[in-house]
Amino acid sequence: MAQLLSMLVEGASLGAVYALVALGIVVVYKSSSVVNFAQPSLLMFGTYVLASAYTLHGLSFWVALPLGVAAAAVLAVLIDRLLVSRFRKTHAVVAASIMTIGLDVVLLTETDRRIGSQILTTGDPWGNAVVRFLGIGVAEARIAALVVGALLLVLFQLWLHRSDFGVAMRATAEDPETASLMGIRLGRVSATAWAVAGALAVCAGLFIVAYPSPGLDTSVEAVALRALPAAIIGGLDSTTGAIAGGLLVGLSEVLVRGYGEYLTFLGQGFEEAAPYVLMLVVLLIRPAGLFGIREAVRV
């Protein structure tokens, strides 16, 4: 029982982290119809800036964190302004999405080179402390991830539903041309979405590399990539879906690892494939994802 409880807490915590990354993918998709495959590399880049500011340049965590977040946000906006916006003019969203794959390769190759064989830490305030409650022990950083993640997700949803940006983004997702006629500046909507996506990625990256994981190394990108199945499971066009998808991916991963001894027929390390299996199952039943809406046919 205690084991299950601790797995659920851990799974929810990891899920909240995936949800943050997936949310970035969904926001960009809704505002520009581009599937951003470069999201994992934004996470790697921003988290590298954060970790290297702390480890290599000796800055305090509270200085390094905003630096990392800002770096990823700025890079994301640059990608949108300099590259993606041009594709939007010709409605070449598939080409733009494939372009982000190339971008992902370039950015990851470069961050991998810089990280090399090092394992960088971020100097986060939770360290390796463990909280004990209800007979279980959970890393403080995991609790923080759950709390901060949930807080960011709530703030984000509020912002989306209350702010002008939220209205503009949803109108754009509905019908870009009408939105544009109504005076919504599509370029600004999209740039904001990319900035948010970059910032969220680093908030997630911070917790992915926090205790009990040893720190930032090149294997983190495979973890970050699991935000893609999370976004698809929830439905690419649904922010609620991103949260649900993130949680499902986090829980499936932790539960499969935790119950690995009963799942030996699936082979060791199946937790890394589990989110993808889950995605296939969901897509077979609901091709647009759990919360996604099937595209309307227009003739």
Partner 1 sequence: MFKPANTSEETRRGARAGVRWRTPVAVVAGVVLLAIPLYADRFWLNLGSFAFAAAIGAVGLMILVGRVGQLSLAHSFFLAVGAYGYIWLGSPAKEGSWGLGLPSLPAAVIAVALAGLAGLAFSPLAGRLKGIYLGVASLALVFIGQHVLFTAEPLTGGYNGRNVPELTVGSFQVLGAEPELSLLGVPLRQAERGWYVTLIILVLTTVFAVLVLRSRVGRAFAAVRDGEVHAAALGVRVAWYRSVAFTLSSVYAGLAGVLLALLFQRVVPEYWDLFLSLEYLAMVVIGGQASVAGAIAGAAFVSSLPLLLQRYSDAIPGMGGAVSDFGPAYVAQIMYGGLIVVILFYEPRGLAALATRARKALTSRRPVPADHAAPS
Partner 2 sequence: MTAPGARLQVSDVTVRFAGVTALDGVTFTAEPGTIHAVIGPNGAGKSSLFNVLSGIYKPARGSVLVDGGELVGLAPHRVTGLGVGRAFQNASMFAGLTVEENLLLGRHRLGRGGVFGAGLRLPHARRSEREARAKVREVAEFLGVDHLLALPAAELPYGEAKRVDIARALATEPRLLLLDEPAAGMHTHEKIAVRDTIRRIAAEQRITVLLVEHDMGLVMGISEQVTVLDFGQVVLTGPPDQVTAHEAVIAAYLGRAAEKERSESEPPS
Pairing verdict, β 136-139 and 130-133: antiparallel
Q: How many residues touch partner 2 (CB under 8 A)?
A: 4
The set of residues, in sequence order, having a beta carbon less than 8 Å from that of 51 and lying 6+ positions away, is 64, 68, 120, 121, 122, 209, 215, 216
Compute the distance between CA of residue 197 and CA of residue 204 in angstroms, rounded to an integer: 11
Among 134, 154, 273, 293, binds partner 1 (CB under 8 A): 273
Compute the distance between CA of residue 213 and CA of residue 119 in angstroms, rounded to an integer: 10
With CB under 8 A as the contact rule, which of the stretches 70-78, 130-138, 241-249, 264-272 interacts with partner 1? Answer: 264-272
Binding at 202: pick from partner 2, partner 1, none (beta carbon under 5-8 Å per type): none
CB of 192 to partner 1, least distance (A): 22
Contact mark string toward partner 2, 240..279, x via CB under 8 A: ----------------------------------------
Interacting positions 203-222 with partner 1 (CB under 8 A): none
3-state secondary structure of 79: helix
Tell me the two tokens of residue 245. 């998808």
Residue with smaller CB distance to partner 2, 174 or 272 = 174
Among 4, 63, 106, 154, binds partner 1 (CB under 8 A): 106
CB of 167 to partner 2, least distance (A): 17
Partnered with residue 216 across adjacent β-strands are: 120
With CB under 8 A as the contact rule, which of the stretches 85-93, 178-186, 198-206, 207-215 interacts with partner 1? Answer: 85-93
297 binds partner 1 (CB under 8 A): yes
298 binds partner 2 (CB under 8 A): yes
Supply the DSSP string of 12-62, one letter for each residue: HHHHHHHHHHHHHHHHHHHHHS---TTHHHHHHHHHHHHHHHHHTT---HH
Classify the phi-psi angles of 185: left when phi > 0, otherwise alpha if psi is within -120 to 50, otherwise beta: beta
Question: What residues make contact with partner 2 under the rule CB under 8 A?
Answer: 296-299
